[in-house]
Chain A
Amino acid sequence: MTDKTVAADEERKHAGFLKNNLREYGMLLSLGAIMVFFQLMTDGTLLRPLNLTNLVLQNSYIVIMALGMLLVIVTGNIDLSVGSVAGFVGAVAAVLMVSYRVNFIPATIICLALGGLIGAAQGYWVAYFKIPSFIVTLAGMLVFKGLALAILQGQSVGPFAPTFQKLSSGFIPELLPDAGAHPTSLLIGAALATALVLMNLKTRTRQLSHGIEAEPQGFFILKNALLFAAIVYFAYLIASYRGLPNVLVIMMALIGVYAFITSRTTVGRQIYAVGGNAKAAKLSGIKTERLTFLTFVNMGVLAALAGLVFAARLNTATPKAGLGFELDVIAACFIGGASAYGGVGRVGGAVIGAMIMGVMNNGMSILGIGIDYQQVIKGLVLLGAVCLDVYNKKR
């Protein structure tokens, strides 16, 4: 082969790779573009350390629920009740901790278990009685919204004990001598970035050594350099305010766990199979009903956690807590590339989807765009993202 044909070959390979992975890079690029756009429009307010920290705190519960929702959507179902469940669990937490003075640790455990139980109650009808999840969770949405109102008796209950508030408004303790820059947080960020790059490198070497076609080297280097820079820069910004928020640590850990489960484990693969073709999955020995049931239990637990985070952040449980969360959560999954027909969707995508929604909410608020047009714009972005997906698939 001459050099020329090799070069042409390489080029074709690159083009093919880009085409196949357009969706993933496209998502990241749009998030980047949206951030740059608002950064410029808001004269740099978006990425100010204070605002960035707030952005994380404001969206943490959406991201947490999006992880569970992704699994539910991948099995071909939907959960409309998550907002109400989060609100209800927040209310229960308030009643337990404020009215009955239960310590926050047992109270948290009770609340998470309650979330699991709620998920089980709904998942049971969906998985074993084959009632469409849309209907079951629509019913759940009404039931738990009502129950939240009932146990709060229409009042706001609060404030919480300071230890519980730390869940949302606390930051990780500073271990090093602090010069106002929170070096621990910066170091954790740098360590995380290094670990991710090393992991990617390890995977790549392993793939190459087994003759698997990995992404072209140029892409790989560029991607990892950008990833490293972005994480370190982000950590630097966060560190220069008050350091890493506790909730961000919880969120990152959950993202890591769910990304691993969905992409690397047999259970994850089976969940995708259920959504891809439930009958074929069943005939392949996969316990489709049990998996569907478990995705709802998991969703319930995560909705409960989100409810706790939200209540701790507001420092009070209100009857209106959780209102409309389900819409943001579901939108995050679909913007992130999940298919409404099931079987398709990634944890990374859902997280980026949630971040796109969060940045847009935040940026538009800073710009002083009213809540009315914010909704219009968010709706159009959702439609646009899904249209783009469908168009890409048809090509």
Chain B
Amino acid sequence: MRNLLFIILIVLGKLVFCQEIITDSVFQLSEVNINASRINDFSVGLNVERIDSIFLTNSSSSSLGNILSSLTSLFIKTYGQGSLASISLRGTSAVQTGVFWNGFRINPPNTGMSDLSLIPSSFFSNIGIQYGGASSLYGSGLIGGSVHLNNPAVFEKKVSFGINSSYGSFDNISFGGDVLLSNEKWFSSTAFFINNSENDFPYKYVNETKTQTNAVLKQYSFIQNVNRKISKDQTIKAGIWYQFSNREIPGTITSKPGNAYQIDKSLRTSVKWEKVRSDQKLNIGVAFFNDYLHYSDIDEIPETDIDSEFNTKSLIVETEWKKYFGKDFKINTGLNFTTEIADIDAYHEIKKQKQGGVFLSVSKIFTKIKWNLNINIRQEFIEGYNVPLSPSIGFEGKILNFISGKINISQNFRAPTLNDRFWQPGGNENLKPEKSWNEEVSLIFKFHDKKSIKHKTEMAFTIYNSMVNNWILWKPIAGSALWTPQNIQIVWSRGFEVKGKSKIDFNRFKINFLGTYTFSKSTFQEQINGTDNSFEKQLIYTPVHNFSSNLSIIIKSWFLLYNQNYTGKRFVSSDNENFLPGFSVGQVSFGKTFNLNNNTIKINFKINNAWNTEYQIIQYRPMSGRSFLLNINYKFKK
């Protein structure tokens, strides 16, 4: 540890300026690096998982939702192919999970929930997942964890250009491209993605084969990142990301065929100025996000027509300063201001919400015992209500040569969404933020001998516990047909995660295995009245068991990827009387890479739901059976 620190301090002056790059800390301890972002540098005791590039580069046409559901044991609640996909981390809900781009939270303020089905995974070279409570680092909504999307810049002379096209079952056509240009002063990366899927897949329903209707998805998106080194120690980083989608909303099996459609437009921009010295780093960033959604369900009955527009804008200003005092003590402090403006028909008027946050982190390395202590504290100020202080304490280090340990305790919160507060009728302006205590302990084992780097096996065990008070639940008002959100529940989430990772690398022959099992129990702890049978029952659509396994084998230029997931039964009624059975879905992908000078062509054939499993994630919303996808990728690199 001490040696590492010295090396890093020595090379600091020469370090490239990189963005909010996420490094995997599930299997290791937080790294010491002046350029590391808050999520890596001050998340001592927490697990941050980086999606392995081996699996990522072979799924160029997949959405972020698809990637996370196949590569991790997270539960992605999806309404079907091309439909809304939201994340559930450690038995919490999507509004309790933050999604960040270049370090800024992109969850739309009205729903608080990011739709992962519309985010192209190919846009980001670095995708990380942080597990557990982290309000002390990022503020509201980090009770379950967070997802981080980044494009780290490398200032070296490089030119690359790629195109990717795929064709799959049910007329799933996608086309994407990327250009990367960089030198010692500039870094530019550009990417676009176009997708059209009919999603008219067959499904079985009571001995009958039916075809999914009204499920067409059309989308295009574009992202541009420009980083400019304006002097030896200063960099400006800018990014713009636009996405458009027009999709039909299918009905359920048990209702009339769907007729609705939805248009989503999102514009996201961010600019950051950064100054790095050998012992300190200062940055100031501004981000502006605009999310527009148009939902329309018009049929022969004008009285029940819905035609609504939702338009939200967020402006975020953040500044942060990090300073090393000696080699074993560092602090990080900063301010955040966010203004959210929502123009939503159901609010009856334009609503504005301002919030601010101030945060401070200190980290101390006890070099003698090789343990790192980290204390974070953050206070948010949100117009209209009091927000609890969010402190956290983390401690991690080596126990034995091959065993390390981590522990983290934090208090976290989630502010009500604008819908919770202002939706007419039903919105409740007197809501309090949800407040939680989160605790977790991890043990990490590394079973590889130091002489050989050809084998590497690591395992991580984590036990977590969290108690969320003032849990916001939409409930009917005194039996009337009107629903309103209320702070009436207490939710206890606890469980454990087992992750294993193994690598064998003999240059021309590589095997990579990643397996994760999650046990997550999330139960209501408040009995609303005597006959409320949701008391001490598992939350609906929250599987207790989740297992994910991924295997990749590379032999010379051939590759095979195999992924098998199991999602346990999910209750669909809050008294746990009704449930959807568990299911297991497999995915096989294989192909070959052709290299010619600077050109690479990769052809890859993928079988989704390889064993043709019949399953539903949401009740009565069918999922497609076996389907195929052919992907051709061309890349030029210099």
Does B associate with A? no
**A interface residue numbers (CB < 8 A to B):** none
**B interface residue numbers (CB < 8 A to A):** none
